[in-house]
């Protein structure tokens, strides 16, 4: 492969992905290429398949047909390779999913020690650096329940970053937060974007989408209906579904 091809090879590629839950057709012929450094924002009505699409990318959901590749490699089916994939694809969910019975520090060191076989001291140094980066290093010895939602989400981001992921998936990371905590999490995401992290973000934070995303994907009824730059999408949506969605969301 020459340098030019390497530069254009997508980091994440979904081709003709189909997924059903019983009779419900949730992902319909999804085709998506995410390049290194892209900040992709996925928006769309509730139930349109945004979370399911994210979950297929680190194989929390299987797909019925089609193909998903990370850095050119098809997703592994199981075992060690799957654990490795999960490490390469960092994920932050809407609900804070820290391990409740472990300290903040242990939450961040667990995977580097278990999956990467890092020495405890090295993992702790790494974790403290990341906790400082997201502004919660002073909370390291606390339990998750002692932190605010915004702090917990920042720990969840640090925990994902500890595995040096190739791509970060965010599924509505701020939607369960009290309003005053939303910005502290968005600020960390903005910083990651400026550091060229490849990011796929499901979010209804339109300010973030407009300012930080380089591409917007609009999903409805299990399909990608529109894809474009924030300017193209917000200024000139093409489909009635997108126009209708935007008119609802932007009047708030
Ligand atoms: N495990 C499951 N079993 C059955 N149906 C499911 C499952 N997970 C999701 N669904 C259904 O699949 C469809 C897509 O769900 P998904 O969570 O991907 O939507 P979404 O776009 O993320 O919605 P929201 O904006 O509400 O988070 C919905 O109709 C949902 O009820
Ligand atoms: Mg969802």
Q: Which residue from 23, 24, 55, 222 has its CB within 8 A of the most atoms of ligand 1, so it is best to mutate? A: 24
What's the length of the chain? 252
CA dist., res. 93 & res. 68, Å (int): 21
CB count, 10 Å around CB of 70?
21
CA dist., res. 134 & res. 116, Å (int): 22
Task: Confirm or reject: Cβ of 56 under 6 Å from ligand 1.
Answer: no
Confidence of residue 6 (pLDDT cuts 50, 70, 90): low
The predicted pLDDT at position 19 comes to 97
Distances from the Cα of 109 to the Cαs of 117, 122, 163, in angstroms? 10, 9, 9
Give the mean model confidence (pLDDT) for residues 165-170.
95
The predicted pLDDT at position 205 comes to 92
Confidence of residue 252 (pLDDT cuts 50, 70, 90): low
Confidence of residue 240 (pLDDT cuts 50, 70, 90): very high
Task: Confirm or reject: Cβ of 99 under 6 Å from ligand 1.
Answer: no
Confidence of residue 251 (pLDDT cuts 50, 70, 90): low
């Amino acid at each position: 492969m020459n340098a030019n091809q390497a530069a254009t090879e997508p980091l994440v590629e979904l081709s003709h992905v189909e997924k059903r839950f019983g009779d419900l057709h949730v992902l319909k012929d999804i085709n998506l290429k995410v390049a290194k450094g892209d900040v992709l924002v996925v928006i769309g009505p509730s139930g349109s398949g945004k979370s399911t699409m994210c979950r297929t990318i680190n194989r929390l959901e299987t797909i019925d047909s089609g193909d998903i590749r990370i850095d050119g490699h098809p997703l592994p089916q199981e075992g060690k390779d799957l654990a490795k994939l999960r490490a390469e694809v960092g994920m932050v969910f809407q609900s804070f999913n820290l391990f409740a019975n472990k300290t903040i520090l242990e939450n961040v060191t667990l995977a580097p020690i278990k999956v990467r076989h890092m020495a405890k001291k090295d993992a702790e140094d790494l974790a403290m650096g990341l906790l400082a980066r997201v502004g919660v290093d002073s909370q390291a010895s606390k339990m998750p329940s002692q932190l605010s939602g915004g702090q917990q989400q920042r720990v969840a981001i640090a925990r994902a970053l500890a595995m040096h992921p190739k791509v970060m998936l965010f599924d509505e990371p701020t939607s369960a937060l009290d309003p005053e905590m939303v910005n502290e999490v968005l600020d960390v995401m903005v910083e990651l974007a400026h550091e060229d992290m490849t990011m796929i973000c499901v979010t209804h934070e339109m300010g973030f989408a407009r300012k930080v995303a380089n591409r917007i994907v609009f999903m409805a009824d299990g399909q990608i209906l529109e894809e474009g730059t924030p300017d193209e999408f917000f200024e000139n949506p093409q489909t009635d579904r997108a126009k209708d969605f935007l008119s609802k969301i932007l009047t708030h």
